[in-house]
Amino acid sequence: KDTCAIFISYSGENQSILKLLPMIKKKNIPIIGLTSIGENTVSKYADSTLRISTREKLYSKISNFTTRDSIGFLMDILYACVYGKDYEKYTNYKINIAKNFDHRVTHNKMIQENK
């Protein structure tokens, strides 16, 4: 009840993902698909679909600028939603971990932590 699967595929037809989708669905694990606009296999299996900007061709693109930015934006939104559900708990957890393991120092007073 506290988990879900997130599948990210521009085409929605990645063979590795397509092998996993039926197994995940059979276990009644909710699926979030991050995939391109239009119908594809990932969007058919997904309980919720978040659309990636579809401005690049599959093979003839120069780079994946809009794809990378779209995926990053959507993942940031999902992270913020989960984190925001119990903000104090997650913030305290992160601070406690950082106090024990993050020993970075800075001379920049703007980013120094309060002791």
Phi, psi (5° rounding) for residue 49?
Answer: -120, 130
Could you tell me the residue ranges of all domains in the chain?
A: 5-101
How far apart CA 2 and CA 28 sit, in angstroms, is: 12
**113 against 22, higher pLDDT:** 22
User: How would residue 115 be classed by pLDDT, with cut points 50, 70 and 90?
Assistant: low
Mean pLDDT of the chain: 91
How far apart CA 21 and CA 9 sit, in angstroms, is: 12
Phi, psi (5° rounding) for residue 110?
Answer: -65, -30
The kind and range of the H/E element at 24 are: helix 15-26
Say which CATH topology domain 5-101 has: Rossmann fold (3.40.50)
Return the pLDDT at 79.
95
User: How would residue 66 be classed by pLDDT, with cut points 50, 70 and 90?
Assistant: confident
* Mean pLDDT on 22-29: 96
**60 against 8, higher pLDDT:** 8
User: How would residue 46 be classed by pLDDT, with cut points 50, 70 and 90?
Assistant: very high
How far apart CA 54 and CA 36 sit, in angstroms, is: 6
Structure tokens at 58: 């599959």
User: pTM of the entire structure?
Assistant: 0.78
Examine the pLDDT at 80 and tell me if it is beyond 90.
yes
